[in-house]
Amino acid sequence: LGQSALQFLRVTKQYLPHVARLCLISTFLEDGIRMWFQWSEQRDYIDGTWNCGYFLASIFVFINLFGQLSGCILVLSRNFVQYACFGLFGIIALQTIAYSILWDLKFLMRNLALGGGLLLLLAESRSEGKSMFAGVPTMRESSPKQYMQLGGRVLLVLMFMTLLHFDMNFFYILQNIVGTALIILVAIGFKTKLAALTLVIWLFGINIYFNAFWTIPAYKPMHDFLKYDFFQTMSVIGGLLLVVALGPGGVSMDEKKKEW
């Protein structure tokens, strides 16, 4: 398995970061487009929840729409990626408060996992910035990047905590054991690329099976719930693909092993 995974990484090395970025921003893209098509519903919901009036509720929807779509365009076009990441961090924080996600543990953990993916994207954009000054010593500046990668890996892991089922069913017990082992490997950065690639395949399978929103008519509320879950999961897959493409960074067992 290890050899075939390494072969896969060699073949896909130049495409993987692009696919990772596209997956990572997919939830923001979908949500931004949803704001456009459901403008009045979103505005009425915010107004009804916070009693803030149509004007402020409309500004909230506009910030979500413009912030998410412009952030996605910047990330995909590789322009001002750091500013785009900070903007998208702001959107996550805004939505966490506005939609009362703070009190829903599952949604909070998923939003934190999304933040983890953005941290990895930020770390990647920093390394691209450095490569322009090849040969210039950058020891001092590399450490924030390493800690961003560590933080990103640890936050991504929270997504999987929401998938663990506390059930005595054999399949769920097996899934919990294997999933937890892979999660720990990614978090501590041991055999990171292989563990992250395995998690990508596992998560993709779960996503297609459980969040098949296309099988439910668009007028049913469940369609929107599953669609939201589907694209959030795709974004976490994007974050994991960045781990696969770039490795775990300096603060990891894999990196320490090289020193030994």
> What is the chain's length?
260
Query: Taking the chain (260 residues) in consecutive chunks of 10 residues, what is each chunk's mean pLDDT?
Result: 69 85 96 94 93 93 96 94 96 91 84 93 77 42 78 88 75 83 89 90 90 93 91 92 86 69
- Quick one: which H or E segment has residue 181? helix 170-188
pLDDT of amino acid 230: 94
pLDDT value of residue 222? 93
What pLDDT is stored for residue 137 in this prediction? Answer: 40
Cβ-count burial 30-61 (b if 16+ within 10 Å, e if not): bbbebbeeeeeebbebbbeeeeeeeeebbebb
Angstrom distance (rounded) from CA 165 to CA 238: 23
For the chain, the straight-line distance linking the first and the last C-alpha, in angstroms and rounded, comes to 25
The pLDDT value given to residue 134: 41
Cα–Cα distance list, 84 to 36, 113, 150, 241 (Å): 20, 17, 20, 19
